A and B are shown apart, each in its own frame.
Chain A
Amino acid sequence: MTKKYSKWIWGVPLWTLAIAFLAPFAWMISTALKPDVDAYKIPMQWIPNPFQWDNFSTVLSGATSVLPAFGRSVFVALLRVAGELITATMAGYAFARMSFKGRDKLFLLYLATAIIPAQLLLVPRFIYFQKLGLYDTLWALILPGMFTVLGTFLMRQFFVSQPAEFAEAARMDGANEWRVFTRIYLPLATPVMSALGILAFVWSWNDYETPLVLISNPDRYTLPLSLTNFVDEQGQIAPGLTMAASVISIVPVLIVFVVLQRRFIAAMTHTGIK
């Protein structure tokens, strides 16, 4: 009996802390559901009165709708995830389980580029994309995300841990390299691939810095950029609309997070990238 209660000695302060920690999200939802005149009420009114959905209907319809931006974010994320999964899985597999001239030197080159921060590459990317006509298009966001060094590492680390005997046996039976890869090793890799997929999705979905630099036309804004549409030229934020749009921007990652929580946290904590 005492044991049962002892859980709460730490439980009560931690839950209190957790609730305080969630306050910004509670404020976001509360503000999204009330008229703007109540947003800065003193004292703070947590339960909206009057309660209204108007902010959501405004950001989901007409000229102010964030749905087109939502669609663009989905498009960008899907292509990036698909591209990264395909190219990283193949390259990671070859680095781990195939042998060819210059492999180790090439891998060292990959190692060296992995620590380059993306921000450093923004100036040359900006210039090249202008020359190539990709500036201010979604391809400026999609293409670099399809070929990543980090994804290749993750996949290589996985394939290195898989026994080489599978391949030897299959080759003995006359299977070619592509068959060995797709029939034997690829099915084993689904957990790692889903972890990489989650990472790539969240990374793409939340990216703000790249579109800030490479997209200028508001008709091509992805979702994070479009949240700034509800700030006027004097820098005044429309609280209700901004928060309603913010809630919408969080929903997809939240769904992925809740459904795949275990795998999600493993993916995040094992790689240390955001």
Chain B
Amino acid sequence: MATATVVAAGTKARTERGSGIRPSGWIGFLFIAPNLLGVIAFTLIPLISVVVLAFTDWNLVSGLGGITFNGLDNFVAIARDPGFWHAIGLTLVYVVVSVPLTVVLGLALGIALNRPLPGRAVLRAIFFLPYIVNVVAIGMTWLMLMNPKAGLVNQVLDAFGLQPGWFASSHWALPALIVMAVWGGVGYCSLIYLSALQDAPQQLYEAADIDGASAWSKFRVITWPSLLPTTIFLLVTLIIGASQGFGLIALITAGGPGDATTTISYYMYQTGFQFYRFGYASAIGLVTFVGVLVLTLLTWRAQRGRALND
């Protein structure tokens, strides 16, 4: 989700007013109409519907006439639903482990790729590659690579005396998904950092060199603060991505073994499209979305506070 772009656009909308653009009456509206009608039909109406559905008890079996409003019942049920809280817990573990790991490794890789290197452009492309490949091809490959008995990953780990059960084990299935997420995301993060590093203030580094600053203090005082907005952007986009995607889980584990990988997005998918409990699924989706939104706003707040202190 292009949250950062959206915020940037919002800031611009305010400053741009009164720039002397001639009023063009209804013609401007005609330009927007094709897009607007589509957005109303396929985004706005579904969005309003999901909010309404969250306050209903409705499943596929009862048909369109079977909709009954049940007030806050779904939300009360969510609060008491152990399956929901289990899924929230798993999602938190997944997000809290995979997102910082991806960002930190992406930063290290970005700094490394910013140096003069043999074949640097090819290196960058290699690390970016997983990001452009569809989730089924990636999922199927890793599923076989992580075959507990004969997969390549365990052949390598055998040298260290480790034989994790990966997707066959309720302890290792979530870590397996985390490994895949990190592998898939570091290249993207490193490229985002790379473009931010190229905008870093060069004269500060030169001044620091004159003062004889160490590499670590240069990183801490100059590089890290200048990368803070990028870091926040990456955290936000990765948190949203990690908490919303269900494709990989639907493909590889179907939430299992047991419910070991039933994250919140998969739980919603299951409720909606396997049990066809549309009202309850909508309520879960809404609660999750509001939760992620609050988390996102808090992250932004934290960054703004930091920027003011500096």
Q: Chain A interface (Cβ within 8 Å of chain B)?
A: 7-8, 10-11, 14-15, 18, 21-25, 27-28, 31, 39-44, 86-88, 90-91, 93-95, 97-100, 103-104, 106-108, 110-111, 113-128, 131, 143-144, 146-150, 152-154, 156-157, 160, 164, 167-168, 171, 177, 181, 202, 205-206, 208-209, 212-213, 223-225, 227-228, 237, 239, 242-243, 246-247, 249-250, 253-254, 257-258, 261, 264-265, 268-274
Contacts and interface: CB of A to CB of B under 8 A. Distances in A.
Nearest to B289: A120
Most A CB contacts (10 A, CB to CB) among B126, B134, B269 go to B134
Contacts of B160: none
B25 interface: yes
A168 B121 CA distance: 43
Contacts of B50: 120-121, 123-124
B278 A127 contact: yes
B35 A88 contact: yes
B13 A104 contact: yes
B233 interface: yes
B41 to A, nearest CB: 8
A94 B136 contact: no
Nearest to A19: B126
Contact of B245 (A114, A209, A246, A261): A209
Interface stretch (B75-83, B143-151, B217-225): B143-151
A186 B152 CA distance: 51
A35 B301 CA distance: 56
Contact of B12 (A125, A160, A272): A160
B305 interface: no
A113 B31 contact: no
Given A39-B144, A147-B35, A22 B126 contact: yes
20 contacts: A7-B116, A14-B123, A15-B118, A18-B123, A22-B126, A99-B28, A106-B36, A119-B268, A119-B269, A120-B285, A123-B281, A143-B38, A147-B38, A164-B19, A164-B20, A177-B31, A209-B245, A257-B129, A265-B191, A272-B4
Contacts of B296: 115
Interface string B188-231: 10011001000000000000000000000000000000000000
The 3 A-B residue pairs with the shortest CB-CB distance in the complex, in nearest-first order = A147-B38, A98-B28, A94-B31
Interface of chain A, main secondary structure: helix
A79 B116 CA distance: 42
Contacts, number: 308
Interface string B52-65: 01000000000010
Contacts of B183: 21, 24
B282 A246 contact: no
A17 to B, nearest CB: 8
A88 B150 CA distance: 49
A110 B43 CA distance: 10
Contacts of A24: 130, 138, 141-142, 145, 183
Nearest to A270: B5
Contacts of B36: 91, 106
Contacts of B273: 122, 126, 213
Contacts of A43: 155
Most B CB contacts (10 A, CB to CB) among A28, A254, A264 go to A28
A123 B127 contact: no
B6 interface: yes
Given A237-B140, A237-B144, A271-B5, A144 B43 contact: yes
Contact of B247 (A87, A160, A209): A209
Interface string B1-42: 111111011101100110111111111110110111111011
B176 interface: no
Interface string B120-140: 010111111111111111101
A40 B188 contact: no
Nearest to B128: A265
B48 to A, nearest CB: 8
Contacts of B191: 265, 268-269
Nearest to A28: B141
Given A27-B141, A272-B3, A100 B29 contact: yes
A21 B129 CA distance: 10
Contact of A246 (B2, B137, B150, B240): B137
Most A CB contacts (10 A, CB to CB) among B117, B130, B233, B244 go to B117
A95 B32 contact: yes
Contact of B23 (A99, A122, A148): A99
B112 interface: yes
Contacts of A121: 42-43, 46-47, 50
B255 interface: no
Contacts of B23: 99-100
B3 A21 contact: no
